[in-house]
Amino acid sequence: MSTDSAERISVEVAYARPDLQVILAVQAPRGATLRQAIDLSGVLRRFPEIDLALNKVGVFGRLAKLDTPLRAGDRVEIYRALIADPKEVRKQRAAAGKRMKKGGGDAPPAGDAG
């Protein structure tokens, strides 16, 4: 094994949209950060909608900062912004369910033929 390969680590950079998921293999210098691996992967050129000032990043599903050093085998993940706040969606569903239970609907009461 050459000294050059001993100075590099293998990591992956992952990004997913609703229509496409990519996992890019990257050879990065030992001690590279999330930001460096993202830059090396070319994912920012491929997906110009990614804005690292807005998109959160992590390693294996755990949020991390761009200056976090990587270890061999790490998977850097770039997260998309949520379209809807999950708490708000649950509130809306619960409110819709309550309205439906309180009565409404166009069906005649049971036993009423018309």
Q: What is the pLDDT of residues 62-94, one digit of tens each?
A: 999 999 999 999 999 999 876 666 777 787 788
Its pTM stands at 0.69
Between 1 and 40, residue with greater pLDDT: 40
CB 22 within 8 A of CB 42: no
Q: Residue range 25-50: average pLDDT? A: 96
* Mean of the per-residue pLDDT values of the chain: 84
In the prediction, which pLDDT does 99 show? 59
What's the chain's length in residues? 114
| Radius of gyration of the chain, Cα coordinates, nearest whole angstrom | 24
In the prediction, which pLDDT does 53 show? 92
Q: Is the pLDDT of residue 3 over 90?
A: no
In the prediction, which pLDDT does 89 show? 74
Structure tokens at 107: 């069906």
Confidence of residue 34 (pLDDT cuts 50, 70, 90): very high
Separation of first and last alpha carbons in the chain: 86
